[in-house]
Amino acid sequence: MTQPQGFFYPRSATGQASLLPAPPWFYAGDLLTIEFRTDPARVAELLPAPLTLAPEDPGAVALIWADWQSCGGTKAELLDPVRAQYKECFAVVRCAFEGRVYSRCIYIWVDKDFALLRGIHQGYPKKFGSIHMTRPHPFAPAPQVAAGGSFGATLAANDRRLAETVITLTEPAERNGFVNGHPMAHHRWLPAIDGKGDVHAELIESGGAKFEGAQPWRARIDHFKLFDSPTEELTRLEVRELIGAYYRQIGVVWNGGKSLVPAIGR
């Protein structure tokens, strides 16, 4: 008997209906990053054991907006772009595990279903949001990725604005910030169907299998605000000090990862 085909839901006769092709997944897009310091206790409370705070600058947080086009190996989604384009905004902290520093996404909002389901696979805690970013373009009134270019970015969910920023590029930078620069350490959880804890809880590591990037740019932060919401805890990450802002265009391939702690559940 032939089994239904497909990398993830839904599995079907031919696999055509599957929301996700099997990795590798290919991405091209723009990243707008704000880095700031919060109380390290606010980071610690988001790290499940066995993860601990990063030894240096443990209160550093990156809030990153991304405007992506992505696809599987056939690249078919790119030419039916409703299936390729999505935007996301995500908060990243650093943590330590067995003496190594990792990045970890603690909150993330996306605007397409395929991105949300990829998150279940990758351990990104995805919800839906409405994300907007000014886009660079060769002609005015749009900005260019160059000194003086101003970019706005906003995040909303459930019809409430959650975060907004405006930055102005100032000079080339050596890197695109430091908080999101490590391999990701994420939990893949599946609550038990009988409601008693998790039936699967796995700590995994993943990162880009291939990476290209344009010159990163440093930016002045003209405006940055987080808003309260009954459905979020973003404002618990109180901004004690702004670190910096960055803008970069990149291309990435993601092709899976590995288990760090294969079975820590139930």
Using CB under 8 A as the binding rule, the residues of this chain from 140 to 169 that contact its own copies are 140-143, 150-154, 156, 158-161, 164, 166
Q: Which of 40, 78, 101, 209 binds its own copies (CB under 8 A)?
A: 78
| 39 near its own copies (CB under 8 A) | no
| 58 near its own copies (CB under 8 A) | no
Amino acid identity at 110:
V
Query: In the bound complex, what is the minimum distance in angstroms from residue 86's beta carbon to its own copies?
Result: 11
| 8 near its own copies (CB under 8 A) | yes
Closest CA to 237 of 63, 94, 87, 103: 63
Contact 128, 108 (CB under 8 A): no
* Comparison of 79 and 242: residue with beta carbon closer to its own copies: 79
Q: Which two tokens stand for residue 59?
A: 């209160």
Please name the helix (run of DSSP H) or strand (run of DSSP E) that holds residue 224, with its range, or none.
strand 217-226
* Comparison of 99 and 141: residue with beta carbon closer to its own copies: 141
Measure the CA–CA gap between 86 and 250, rounded to whole angstroms: 15
The number of CA neighbours under 13 Å toward the Cβ of 80 is 6
* Comparison of 135 and 175: residue with beta carbon closer to its own copies: 135
Q: Is the dihedral of CA 135, 162, 117, 203 positive or negative?
A: positive
| 204 near its own copies (CB under 8 A) | yes
* Total residues binding its own copies (CB under 8 A): 112
Mark residues 124-143: x for contact with its own copies by CB under 8 A, - for none. -xxxx-x-xxxx-xxxxxxx
| 172 near its own copies (CB under 8 A) | no
Q: Which of 21, 58, 59, 119 binds its own copies (CB under 8 A)?
A: 119
Mark residues 240-259: x for contact with its own copies by CB under 8 A, - for none. ---------xxx---xxxxx
Query: In the bound complex, what is the minimum distance in angstroms from residue 94's beta carbon to its own copies?
Result: 16
Which residues, in sequence order, are CB contacts of 162 under 8 Å at separation 6+? Answer: 109, 129, 155, 156, 226, 227, 229, 232, 234
Q: Which of 37, 94, 182, 188 binds its own copies (CB under 8 A)?
A: 188
Q: What is the helix, strand, coil percentage profile of the chain, to 5? A: 10, 50, 40
